């Protein structure tokens, strides 16, 4: 038997934590989402966990997919159809993309008048569908911190999340506690047993205040951008919507006879007997690769049965068709 490859511990740790949160809390976890504003793409949070709010059920009725923030914040309302371009305060190309996406997911209805497209919301958007965003940075081995402290300091100074947490498998020493910002919560998590100990509770952050985002690091100074409360509201809405639509099981299973999924939906290899990262470990370069059809994997149904997210809602788009008379 060929020697097993080294397990990508951070990937396996991350999936185990997502499965644990899904099973033991009401949080909706999603993986690898952008968590910066002034410099998009410069900060990717390992896990964004969304806490449902009082209008969560209303959100589940609309669509299981992401609704674009630009469409939500546009001047498109429920009772009166408007020319799509007049409803947006942004570049027409971005407005066009947001309109098409909102129609595609069932949030906008569309009609044509004299060759022009008019749109209205199919239903009121439930602003209070989420109550908190929890940003979780995973670092199983604190002996190899990498850019951990810089990432956590950015998260704290920007305050895009209501809470920021460090999740680790390592024993947390006093020296670790002294280096990690005081407001960052710390979880010690065992991916094998699913036990999670709260070493330190997270302190709520000022999401409604101006944030400071480092955008360029130099040996002698750091350039920063000030992110307004309004910009953060839009970024938080976009983050919550992306997390709702994406979830954490977004990997493709490999076409290998050893490939499978466990009861949580994590990708496993029957040959090596563990969770694997299909994107980096599987394929012809693996000594145990056995070409076959990829196993079937109904990730949406699995998420539906394990959370309050709804995979196939009845939808709302056709319920408003009678409102044409008001336009």
Listed residues 221, 246, 271: the one ending a domain: 246
CB atoms within 10 A of CB 259: 23
- Judge if 135 and 113 occupy the same domain: no
Q: What tens digit of pLDDT does each residue of 108-123 get?
A: 999 999 889 999 999 9
- Judge if 219 and 148 occupy the same domain: yes
Closest CA to 232 of 33, 34, 37: 37
pLDDT greater than 90 at residue 5? no
18 lies in some domain: yes
- How many percent of the chain have pLDDT more than 90? 85
- Judge if 223 and 321 occupy the same domain: no
pLDDT greater than 80 at residue 317? no
pLDDT greater than 80 at residue 7? no
Report how many domains make up the chain. 2
299 lies in some domain: no
- Judge if 45 and 116 occupy the same domain: no
The residue-averaged pLDDT of 208-219 equals 88
90 lies in some domain: yes
Listed residues 192, 225, 246: the one ending a domain: 246
pLDDT greater than 80 at residue 266? yes
- Judge if 143 and 106 occupy the same domain: no
pLDDT greater than 70 at residue 183? yes
What is the token pair recorded at 318? 């056709």
- Judge if 208 and 160 occupy the same domain: yes
- How many percent of the chain have pLDDT more than 70? 94
225 lies in some domain: yes
Q: What tens digit of pLDDT does each residue of 224-242 get?
A: 899 999 999 999 999 999 9
Which CATH number does the domain housing residue 197 bear? 3.40.1350
- Judge if 172 and 41 occupy the same domain: yes
Q: What tens digit of pLDDT does each residue of 41-53 get?
A: 999 999 999 999 9
- Judge if 92 and 155 occupy the same domain: no
pLDDT of residue 327: 37
The residue-averaged pLDDT of 279-305 equals 93
Closest CA to 50 of 143, 131, 170, 156: 131
Single pTM value for the model: 0.91
- Judge if 143 and 241 occupy the same domain: yes
pLDDT of residue 80: 86
Q: What tens digit of pLDDT does each residue of 61-96 get?
A: 999 999 999 999 999 999 889 999 999 999 999 999
89 lies in some domain: yes
pLDDT of residue 79: 82
Average pLDDT value for the chain: 91
| CA-based max dimension of the chain | 72
- Judge if 13 and 79 occupy the same domain: no
- Judge if 145 and 210 occupy the same domain: yes
Question: Beta strands 82-83 and 116-121: pairing type?
Answer: antiparallel
The residue-averaged pLDDT of 253-278 equals 94
301 lies in some domain: no
Which CATH number does the domain housing residue 112 bear? 1.10.10
pLDDT band, very low/low/confident/very high, at 38 (cuts 50, 70, 90): very high
Query: In terms of residue numbers, what domain contains 99?
Result: 68-124+310-326
Listed residues 230, 246, 262: the one ending a domain: 246
pLDDT of residue 315: 76
268 lies in some domain: no
Residues 107, 123: Cα–Cα separation, whole Å = 7
15 lies in some domain: yes
- Judge if 81 and 42 occupy the same domain: no
């Amino acid at each position: 038997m060929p020697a097993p490859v080294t397990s990508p511990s951070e990937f396996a740790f991350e999936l185990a934590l997502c499965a644990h949160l899904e099973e033991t809390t009401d949080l909706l976890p999603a993986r690898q989402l952008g968590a910066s504003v002034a410099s998009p793409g410069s900060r990717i949070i390992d896990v964004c966990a969304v806490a449902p709010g009082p209008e969560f059920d209303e959100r589940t009725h609309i669509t299981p997919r992401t609704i674009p923030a630009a469409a939500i914040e546009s001047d498109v309302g429920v009772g009166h159809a408007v020319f799509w371009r007049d409803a947006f305060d942004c570049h027409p190309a971005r407005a066009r993309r947001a309109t098409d996406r909102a129609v595609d997911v069932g949030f906008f209805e569309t009609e044509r008048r004299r060759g022009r497209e008019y749109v209205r919301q199919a239903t009121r958007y439930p602003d209070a569908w989420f109550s908190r965003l929890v940003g979780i940075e995973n670092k199983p081995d604190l002996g190899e911190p990498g850019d951990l402290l810089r990432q956590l300091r950015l998260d704290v100074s920007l305050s895009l999340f209501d809470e920021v947490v460090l999740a680790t498998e390592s024993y947390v020493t006093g020296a670790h506690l002294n280096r990690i910002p005081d407001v960052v919560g710390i979880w010690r998590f065992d991916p094998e047993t699913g036990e999670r100990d709260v070493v330190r509770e997270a302190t709520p952050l000022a999401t409604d205040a101006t944030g400071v985002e480092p955008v360029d690091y130099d040996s002698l100074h750091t350039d920063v951008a000030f992110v307004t409360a309004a910009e953060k509201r839009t970024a938080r809405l976009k983050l919550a919507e992306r997390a709702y639509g994406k979830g954490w099981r977004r990997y493709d299973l490999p076409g290998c006879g050893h490939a499978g999924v466990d009861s949580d939906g994590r990708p496993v290899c029957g040959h090596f007997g563990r969770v694997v990262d299909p994107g980096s470990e599987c394929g012809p370069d693996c000594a145990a690769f056995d070409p076959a059809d990829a196993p079937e994997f109904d990730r949406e149904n699995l998420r539906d049965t394990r959370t309050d997210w709804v995979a196939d809602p009845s939808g709302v788009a056709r319920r408003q068709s009678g409102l044409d008379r008001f336009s």
